Structure 1
């Protein structure tokens, strides 16, 4: 079997591709960054696609020799892209599959997807679902609608694991409806069974775990998985969550808050009857891979990680702005004289170094790759110069040079986070 996975760089797509490659299936991974796909999915053939722009005819050559297509592509939080990525793009793909004679198509949708749904996310998913289902028996098809998917590398998993690792347990209170989480490994098992199911195939399946629960209960399960003891539970007021969502800060977006309030559950019996597979409870599924120290560190780092780059940028902005606008000119010139600079050359050196500091700060705020490393290089130059002309600064009670060690550590942390997400 030759399976083409669209959105193979995403959470579900990566796990499905890895499982199929491990079982010797011929896999073509399609996404917007094929070089990245080749690195993260060894054993799969990587090709470029862009659901937001590709038309049906763009797919014909890519689909040559393909037996099955799984559409795992999706985005959340940017409703401007929903129509292209969730509706128009998949519809063009499905039309191309029918024209190319692809035997089966599996669409990863979302539990709650419906044309009359309250969220734009669910409505956009439903448009593609209905188009695929409307093809009748032209080819085998399955629409899989997962509830919350938990597992290594998922955004939902990262969010709730981060909440689980906080010093206090945050309860979303009345904002919180019930969810029925399923582990990504069990979802992949369902997809593999659908890929191997005999044709004809024409099903809509709600992919849910066996237990409905509040997100507070899910956080408790993840906290136990991390090996953390019980802690104080704090219920967050609805107005606070809503305000943070409107401002675009915090863990829950406005759309996400509405979806949580609506709930996300379905009977599991239909899934079992259609696939012959019963998913594990989340606690059981997590127990397959016990948490380690790295999991706990990652969860605890997540809330502060976005602030590290900003803090480092402020250090560099201050390093450039203070000499220009706060420090007396005579003080600046006196220091520059100690390295043999005076007059116009001193002024030029002052402005050049100050603007370089400000530039490092700006590139950090813009998330330019390598900005933190560039800052380390510049800071090293400054430190060597000051060590040469004023070694006594290492013993200064205010630690003007000793503090560079802390800045170095912060810079390395920012660079490591950049590498991890790159």
Structure 2
């Protein structure tokens, strides 16, 4: 069997691709960065694709010799891309599958996907699901299955990152006011369901809700993660709704408005139909987590999730202050005296002062909007400032207020922020 996996670099796609490769299945991983996919998953062939741009002709060429297709691609939070990545792109892919005679198509959708759903995410997923189902309603020619998973748990997932981060805090926040019941399923169980479907005979014209056997509150889910991390039970407090809404609006870490709205609506379904269709009984959450015991890196990562945006904010404020203070608050005579020490006076001195201040402000703003590479640009600029000041005023290293010594701390903070924003692979 030759399986083409769309979105192989994502959370679910990575786990599925790795499992199929380990079992000796011929897999082609498709994504926007095939070189990265080949580094991430050893033994896989990769090709470039872009659901937001590719048409049916592009897909027909890629599907030559392919027996099965699994679409794991998806966006979350970027509502502007939903139409292309969740609707138009998959529709072109499915049309090409039907035209080229692909035998199996599995669409990874989402629990709650419906044309009348409140969230744009669910509506866009439903549009692709409906398009696939309409191509061959009985599944007599092209076997297809739409899988609608609930909260998918596992290393590398956004949901796991959020709840592990909450669980690792000294005082455990409760989201009871914002959360309904959820029915988490581990990514290993979802992958097992997909593999069983790929190996099943036709017809496969079904929409299956993929959920775990236990419905629970978000507080219980957080407690499960705390136990998994090896931490003792902690005192908890209920997060005020206004605070939660403010954090979600800003989009700190994995907490987003859309994600919080989904938790508030709840995410449960009957799991018996999935078990009957596939013969696979998913494990309860605590057992699924126990299959992958937490290590020190898991606890460290969980504690970094809430810290990372704070570090970025503090660094942004340092750069903004460094740019605004010389322009607005520092006496011109003081600035002129400093610049005169390197031979700059008059208009050239003013130009250098303004350019430096604007560069500082630009880096600060780039950090606030989470522009990639902003922290590294700050490292370069701060290093230049430090070398220049060391040359013209070495006595600043012994300044009682640490005028230059503080630069070392800013450099370290910048490197930490850059490391935290660098993607795997």
TM normalised by structure 1 equals: 0.91
Secondary structure at 1:142 match in 2: strand
Partner residue of 1:40? Answer: 40
Asked if structure 2 preserves the Cα contact closer than 8 Å seen for 1:173 and 1:238, the reply is no
Counterpart-to-counterpart distance in 2, 1:344 and 1:253:
47
Distance in 1 between residues matched to 2:366 and 2:29, nearest whole Å? 33
Change (3 A) 1:48 1:339: same
What RMSD in Å do the two structures reach over aligned CA positions?
Answer: 2.5
CA distance in 1, matches of 2:388, 2:297: 38
Query: What CA distance in whole angstroms lies between the structure 2 residues aligned with 1:323 and 1:175?
Result: 44
Where structure 1 has 5 or more consecutive residues not aligned to the other structure, the ranges are: none
Greater mean deviation of Cα atoms: 214-223 or 155-164? 155-164
| 1:46-85 alignment runs, 5 A limit | 46-85=46-85
Quote the residue 1:403 is aligned against.
406
Distance 1:179 1:47 in 2: 36
Report the CA distance between 1:352 and its aligned residue.
4.2
C-alpha deviation, 1:214, in angstroms: 0.8
After TM superposition, the structure 1 stretch with the greater mean CA deviation from structure 2, 121-130 or 138-147, is: 121-130
How far did residue 3 of structure 1 move?
A: 0.4
Is the contact between residue 315 and residue 414 of structure 2 (CA under 8 Å) also seen in structure 1?
A: yes
> 1:168 deviation in Å?
1.8
Q: 1:196 to 1:375 in 2, by over 3 A?
A: same
* 2:95 alignment counterpart: 95
2:273 to 270, 273, 283: 270
| Aligned match of 1:16 | 16
1-structure distance, mates of 2:211, 2:356: 58
Tell me the CA shift for residue 202 of structure 1.
2.5
CA separation of 1:250 and 1:336: change in aligned 2, threshold 3 A: closer
The alpha-carbon distance between structure 1 residues 382 and 110, as it changes in their structure 2 partners (threshold 3 A), is closer
The answer to whether the Cα contact below 8 Å between 1:244 and 1:250 also exists between their aligned partners in 2 is: no
Cα 1:243–1:360, aligned 2, differ >3 Å: closer, same or farther? closer
SS of the equivalent of 1:304 reads helix
- Once the two structures are TM-superposed, the CA of residue 145 in structure 1 deviates from its matched residue by 1.4
1:312 correspondence with 2:347: no
Residue 118 of structure 2 is matched in structure 1 by: 118
State the distance in 2 between where 1:130 and 1:194 align. Answer: 19
Please state whether the residue corresponding to 2:61 is helix, strand or coil. Answer: coil
Q: Which moved more, 1:387-396 or 1:227-236?
A: 387-396
Distance in 2, matches of 1:115 and 1:215, equals: 26
Q: Distance in 1 between matches of 2:245 and 2:397?
A: 49
Please state if 1:150 is matched with 2:115: no
Corresponding residue to 1:381 among 356, 370, 384: 384
Q: Deviation per CA, 1:274-330: give whole Å up to 9, x if none.
A: 222221122112122221222122111112312323322332232233233322222
TM-score (norm 2): 0.90
- C-alpha contact (below 8 Å) 1:112/1:264 kept by paired residues: yes
1:256 counterpart residue number:
259
- CA pair 237-142 structure 1, distance change in 2 beyond 3 A: same
Unaligned runs of 5+ in 2: none
The residue that corresponds to 1:5 in the other structure is: 5
CA distance in 2, matches of 1:153, 1:129: 25
Q: Does the CA contact (< 8 Å) of 1:52 and 1:84 recur in 2?
A: yes
Q: Distance in 2 between matches of 1:9 and 1:195?
A: 20
Where 2:106 maps in the other structure, the secondary structure is: strand
Alignment CA distance shift 1:341-1:62 (3 Å): same
In the aligned structure 2, how far is the partner of 1:247 from the partner of 1:320? 24
The whole-number CA distance in structure 2 between the counterparts of 1:82 and 1:356 is 35
Compare 329-338 and 224-233 and name the one that shifted more.
329-338
Cα distance in 2 between the residues matched to 1:103 and 1:32: 25
- Distance in 2 (CA, whole Å) between partners of 1:253 and 1:366 is 15
Match of 1:228 among 224, 231, 254: 231
Query: Which residue does 2:329 correspond to in 1?
Result: 326
Residue correspondence of structure 1 range 281-292 to structure 2 within 5 A: 281-292=284-295
Is the contact between residue 210 and residue 279 of structure 1 (CA under 8 Å) also seen in structure 2? yes
2:301 to 281, 298, 301: 298
User: Using the alignment, how far apart are the partners of 1:85 and 1:144 within structure 2?
Assistant: 17
Deviates more, 1:80-89 or 1:298-307: 80-89
Name the SS of the counterpart of 2:423 in structure 1: helix
SS at match of 2:30: strand
| Number of residue equivalences | 422
Select between 245-254 and 49-58 the one with higher mean Cα deviation.
Answer: 245-254
Q: 1:117-137 deviations in whole A, cap 9, x for unaligned?
A: 333322322232233233121
Structure 2: how far apart are the matches of 1:411 and 1:98? 51
Q: Is the 8 A contact 2:181 2:216 kept in 1?
A: yes
SS at match of 2:111: coil
SS in 2 for 1:141: strand
Aligned mates of 2:89, 2:69 — CA distance in 1: 14
CA contact (8 A) 2:3 2:66 kept: yes
Deviates more, 1:290-299 or 1:31-40: 31-40
